[in-house]
Structure 1
Amino acid sequence: MEKREFKNKIYTELAKVTKALGNPRRMEIIDLLAQGPFSVEKIAEQTSLSVANASQHLQVLKGALLVEISRKGNFIYYHLAGESVFQVWRALRELGLAQNAEAEKLVHDFYHSENQLEPVTLKELRQKITGQDVVILDVRPGEEYEHGHIKEAISIPVEELAGRMDELPRDSEIIAYCRGPLCVYADEAVSLLREKGFKAKRLKEGYPDWKAMGFPAEISHLDNSE
């Protein structure tokens, strides 16, 4: 094979990955699948897509070898093809926020609205766990918590929080987290908690980022995406 032919072919193959990721809906699906495996119906529900559209996007991701399927009984679940897929998405997300002024402004303005405080970083939370009285609150849907969560985190999905605040201590700082920096569940939780007098902040990133850093996590052995 000539050098130019080799370069043409290898860059064409690599471009399939970037092409598959170059769609906002597929980025959102990757972000969701970083939490664990989901059926196409659940993916459609969580991303506000029709089942048909969600299936089309999943086929593109599967064709680029970014997503795989597994079977549990009669059900088919989609999951990331490996930890490297999340690492690529995380790097792309951080690059976009660093280089795209409009994207950075959107996130900055959202975090610094009048009802929010500066979010806690992963390393800051790691330090708080070892040295302070802090409660880690996972406000994602329960099934995502079951796939994996920060060690010793308690699960109260955001839609249940208003009715379960009596389960939380009022003399501890509460750090709420969700899927990642582009997920708003934690912001909703912090607003609710602060309205009721709790000392609460959100984690800047999410569970997949925590796990990627090698920090203590509890992972389901039934999760085929691991």
Structure 2
Amino acid sequence: MSATGEGFPELGIYTELGRVGKALASPIRLRLLDILTDGERTVEELAADAHVNLKNTSSQLQILRAAQLVAGRRDGVRIHYRLASDDVAALLGVFHRFSRDNVAAVRTEVEMYFAEHADLTPLTAAELRSRLDDGSVLVIDVRPRHEYERGHIPGAISIPLGELREHLDALPTDRRIIAYCQGPYCVASPTAASELAVAQRDSTYVDGGITSWIWSGGRLESA
């Protein structure tokens, strides 16, 4: 029996489930998991991408590893981390969608964060998949080029956000242009879609970026 007098038979199971829940109960750890969704990274790369110092990143990864949410492989003196399985990505997708759709505080934060781009209607990963099949769209990856090379949505071309304006004249006017970036709260792709709209291009962005594509079971291509 526990110190609180609670000793139901399933306590051990719920205790272990609680450990997993505790591992998720951190904004930094959730951010690290989102970043790892599209491929493995070293601690140094994760720290840079998450804007978290190296020591803290390493500590948070140990907690995620203990909960079997991430795995690592050693390459010389470096350790490369990845999600422990595809099931972790699926869990993250359900968690994000449930929170945004059912928790008012989360929904409010998301709406405020994307308020500048509220006039755009993003595509879901499923809608993008159907558009890819009919060839009516051009998909652009506005992440840094090294992220595109690590893995990208099939058929997408790399145009980092900072280079978009110099490529405008080469972009078609007779196809819809769909931009995507890294994670569910990345603003690079809606920013790109807004710039394209100003340039008289029919454009939008992928809701949730490349992570939502992966959450939905989409595969990636490597450069």
Tell me the TM-score normalized by structure 1. 0.85
Q: What is residue 150 of structure 1 aligned with on the other side?
A: 153
Displacement of 1:123 after TM fit?
Answer: 2.4
For the pair 1:122 / 2:162, whether they are aligned, the reply is no
- Aligned partner of 2:220 in structure 1 is 218
Instruction: Verify the 8 A CA contact 2:29 2:64 in the aligned structure 1.
Output: yes
Query: 2:93 & 2:54 partners in 1: Cα distance?
Result: 26
**Quick one: distance in 1 between partners of 2:77 and 2:174?**
47
Compute the RMSD of aligned alpha carbons: 2.3
Deviation, structure 1 residue 121: 1.6
Output aligned runs, 1:1-226, within 5 Å: 4=7, 7-111=10-114, 113=116, 116-215=119-218, 217-220=219-222
SS at structure 1 position matched to 2:152: strand
Is residue 150–residue 218 contact of structure 1 (8 Å, CA) maintained in 2?
Answer: yes
Q: 1:31-60, CA deviations, whole angstroms, 9 ceiling, x for partnerless residues?
A: 000011111111111111111111111111
Q: Contact 2:71/2:83 (CA < 8 Å) preserved in 1?
A: yes
Alpha-carbon separation, structure 2, partners of 1:200 and 1:93? 25
Q: Distance in 1 between matches of 2:77 and 2:171?
A: 39
SS in 1 for 2:178: strand
Q: Conserved in 2, the CA contact under 8 Å of 1:36 and 1:144?
A: no
Separation (CA, whole Å) in 1 of partners of 2:74 and 2:161 = 29
Q: Is the 8 A contact 2:37 2:214 kept in 1?
A: no
Which stretch shows the higher mean deviation, 96-105 or 13-22? 96-105
Kept in 1, the 8 Å contact 2:136–2:175? The answer is yes
Q: Give 5+ residue unaligned stretches, structure 1.
A: 222-226
Give the Cα–Cα distance (whole angstroms) in 2 for the partners of residues 92 and 8 of structure 1.
24
The 1:114/1:84 distance shift into structure 2, 3 A limit, reads closer
Report what 1:224 is aligned to: none
Distance 1:33 1:98 in 2: 23
Contact 1:180 1:204 in 2 (8 A): no
Residue type matched to 2:161 in 1?
V
Q: 1:72 to 1:158 in 2, by over 3 A?
A: farther
Using the TM superposition, name which of 30-39 and 115-124 deviates more: 115-124
Q: How many residues align?
A: 217
> Normalising to structure 2: TM-score of the pair?
0.86
Identity %: 36
Q: Once the 2 structures are TM-superposed, how far is the Cα of residue 21 of structure 1 from its aligned partner?
A: 0.4
Query: After the TM superposition, which of the residue ranges 98-107 and 123-132 deviates more from structure 2?
Result: 123-132
CA-CA distance at 1:219 after TM superposition: 3.8
Give the AA of the match of 1:53. N
1:199 to partner: Cα distance: 1.9
Distance 1:141 1:90 in 2: 23
Q: Name the CA distance, whole Å, in 1 between partners of 2:64 and 2:128.
A: 33
Quick one: distance in 1 between partners of 2:102 and 2:117?
26
Q: 1:7 to 1:130 in 2, by over 3 A?
A: same
Q: Which runs of 5+ in 2 are unaligned?
A: 1-6
The answer to whether the Cα contact below 8 Å between 2:184 and 2:212 also exists between their aligned partners in 1 is: no
Residue 112 (structure 1) shift = 5.1
